[in-house]
Amino acid sequence: MFSSLVGAKPKITVWMTYGGTTGELISNLIKDEFTPKTGIEVEYVPMMAYPELMTKLILEILGGTAPDICSLEGYQVIELGMRGALEQMNQFGDYKNIVNRFYPGFSGQFIFNDKVYAIPGESSWTQSYYRKDVFKDLGLEPAVLWTDLENIIPKLKAREMDFYYENGMGYPRAYMAFLFQRGEDIFTKDNLKSNLDSPEAIKAFKTYTSLYTKHKVPVTMPDFQTFISGTVPYMVHLHYIYGLIDQMAPQIKGKWAPVHTPGTKRADGTISNAVPTSSFGYVIPKVKGRSQEQRNAAWEFMKWYTAPETLAKMQKGFYEAPDKWVLIFGTKESFANAKYYPEHLNIISEVLDQGVKMISIPGGYSTYRYIDFAFNKVVLQNEDPEVALKKAANDSTLELERKRKEFARFLKDM
């Protein structure tokens, strides 16, 4: 699994997003297992994943004091990687063996021009949930297609219930499910321009925003307790909600279930239930003068941290902690060890198999902002969705062009 470096005894610094009880769990695993087996000492530093983290890391890299390993969001990985600020993971001889642990939908987002800048960490995806007991009483079934909601939502509203779609007030992840199901993405296939003005992207945006403009579903969920009480018995949310339901509402155990997010019928007649997947990325910052021995030590940590037995212990510890988190880390083994109820494993596995990675490109994060603007114009200001999205497409393409000029000296060498 990992080679012994006993005798070399380098020391590495690791910045991770886990603090409190979970951070203590990881720190203890490092001290009790990783260091004794490898001889590599580790300074574990909890570091929140705030947007300014990338700026802090850049300053640390320039100062020669960057950590050996740091966890970042997907777009941050590519922004730093293409600047030459991160080590390439595929420089290590056994990289392919390690990356094969992961679902492609989680590992692919850290690749740009065939260069791999991160290993996936905690993973996220869009997941739907429904109250089986409420639906049975109402004679309803979860939606197969988005159009099925035209029958479901009115029946829920007639009983003072509702459907909810977590949108983060326009965060593009919510829109991407509609787009991915049509076989499209927010960028053109050459990653040079916005794809938001394509016919399929516009259709997807109209379907998405119609949930709020036509069907009047709530833009925000008043209280998570509404799912538990049955007031909102059907919702599209994120993966971590599973653990919250399990923790907060043991009284409805067996009365709820995860389910496929409503899908889109494609031209060939097949139905796509694709949802966006993403992951935190663990990177090795590139620091001038840092020895190969130090880089190898960081890679040994990566291999140990993503090994099945390590992740299984983390998952068990996270679930037994007060917050009772049910998490996976992008690997097939960690899914098998996740604390899901056995009757839910097949559906969640199917969801992950259809998952589509959220692509990150230099400057691409600005496109998220323009999707957010378009959503607010349509839902809050009554603007025509096609007009709003075409404006977002134009602004996004101009921004991508500016970024390519700004980063030309980096991209030329990639």
On whether residue 157 sits in a domain, the answer given is yes
Same domain, 239 and 305: no
Please tell me the distance from the alpha carbon of residue 42 to that of residue 280, in angstroms, as a whole number. Answer: 20
Same domain, 134 and 63: no
Question: Could you give the number of structural domains in the chain?
Answer: 2
pLDDT tens readout for residues 181-204 = 999 999 999 888 999 999 999 999
| φ, ψ (nearest 5 deg) of residue 101 | -70, -20
Q: Which letter does DSSP use for residue 261 in this model? A: P
Number of H helices and number of E strands within the chain? 19, 13
Average pLDDT of the residues in 166-179: 84
Same domain, 183 and 261: yes
On whether residue 2 sits in a domain, the answer given is no
Asked if residue 163 has pLDDT above 60, the reply is yes
On whether residue 3 sits in a domain, the answer given is no
Q: In the prediction, which pLDDT does 6 show? A: 46
Asked if residue 207 has pLDDT above 70, the reply is yes
| φ, ψ (nearest 5 deg) of residue 280 | -65, 150
On whether residue 413 sits in a domain, the answer given is no
Same domain, 65 and 159: no
On whether residue 81 sits in a domain, the answer given is yes
Average pLDDT of the residues in 31-35: 97
Range of the domain at 59: 11-123+278-357
On whether residue 337 sits in a domain, the answer given is yes
pLDDT tens readout for residues 349-396 = 899 889 898 888 878 888 989 999 999 999 999 999 999 999 999 999
Q: In the listed set 316, 333, 357, which residue is the last one of a domain according to the structure?
A: 357
Please tell me the distance from the alpha carbon of residue 124 to that of residue 355, in angstroms, as a whole number. Answer: 10
Asked if residue 292 has pLDDT above 70, the reply is yes
Same domain, 232 and 260: yes
Please tell me the distance from the alpha carbon of residue 318 to that of residue 324, in angstroms, as a whole number. Answer: 6
Contacting residues for 163 by C-beta, under 8 A, at least 6 apart:
149, 152, 153, 156, 211, 215, 217, 232, 234, 235
Q: In the prediction, which pLDDT does 202 show? A: 98
Compute the CA torsion angle 248, 250, 252, 254 (nearest 10 deg).
130
Contacting residues for 18 by C-beta, under 8 A, at least 6 apart:
25, 26, 46
Q: In the prediction, which pLDDT does 410 show? A: 53
pLDDT tens readout for residues 35-78 = 999 999 999 999 887 777 888 898 999 899 999 999 998 778 88
What CATH code is carried by the domain that includes residue 145? Answer: 3.40.190.10
Please tell me the distance from the alpha carbon of residue 300 to that of residue 312, in angstroms, as a whole number. Answer: 18
On whether residue 54 sits in a domain, the answer given is yes
Same domain, 86 and 27: yes
Q: What percent of the chain stands above pLDDT 70? A: 95
Q: In the prediction, which pLDDT does 8 show? A: 53
Asked if residue 301 has pLDDT above 80, the reply is yes
Q: In the prediction, which pLDDT does 395 show? A: 96
pTM over 0.85: yes
Q: Which of the four pLDDT bands, split at 50, 70 and 90, describes residue 109?
A: confident
